Amino acid sequence: MKYWFYVLDGQQAGPVDEITFQQLVLSGTIVAETLVWSDGMADWCTYGELAARSTAGLPLPPAGPPVPPTSTSIPAPLSSSFPSSSLPGASSASPSPMALSGLVLGVVSMTFGFCCCSGWPFSIPGIIVSGIALSQSGGVKGPSRQYAAIGLALSILSLLLSVIFLLLGTVPHFMGRRFLHM
């Protein structure tokens, strides 16, 4: 089944199924100047353009007053079943603050890990914050999930490097003392 999104009073509406969409056209809610979008379309277009080029026998909208443009970019459809990052022509959403924090902690932990061999104070919070951000993303692909995954990977890598540096720095030292006392 095909679902439709449309702009009503400058705000995105939908998704609605095809039957509801046709009822909105016949009732005059959707007019020729109304911007519409559905899966498979490259970008938003007016319903009049869609009806003119469609072979699906879409009903022609009743004439209505022209809809003034509210902005140059219409927001992409937002719905849990239609993630905006996977829609054609969708604008990319900004990452969540939690995901961005996880990424920053991951980068800082790697920086301190290589420069001072002590990235672990940032690694542990980075793992926690990135893990929370990943769980909040709900499996929806997008910048939040990507930033959180990168932050998690960097934080784990930094923690592992801190442990390796600790072992390389202390084990030979203790082994050397042990051999000296024998």
Final residue of a structural domain among 55, 86, 117: 86
**pLDDT of 23-75, one tens digit each?**
998 998 999 889 998 888 888 888 888 877 765 555 555 444 445 555 544 55
pTM of this structure:
0.45
Residue 170 confidence (pLDDT): 59
Widest distance between CA atoms in the chain: 99
* Burial profile 123-147: b = 16 or more Cβ within 10 angstroms, e = fewer: bbbbbebbbbbbeebeeeebbbbeb
Q: Does 43 map to a domain? A: yes
Give the total number of structural domains in the chain: 2
Q: Are residues 8 and 72 in the same domain?
A: yes
Q: Which residue segment(s) compose the domain that 15 sits in?
A: 3-86
Cα distance between residue 30 and residue 45, in whole Å:
12
Q: Does one domain contain both 106 and 146?
A: yes
Q: Is residue 20 domain-resident? A: yes
Do the beta carbons of residue 34 and residue 61 sit within 8 Å?
yes
User: What are the mean pLDDT values of the chain's consecutive 10-residue runs (182 residues total)?
Assistant: 86 89 90 88 86 62 49 49 41 71 85 71 86 78 82 87 75 53 52
Residues 50 and 70 in one domain: yes
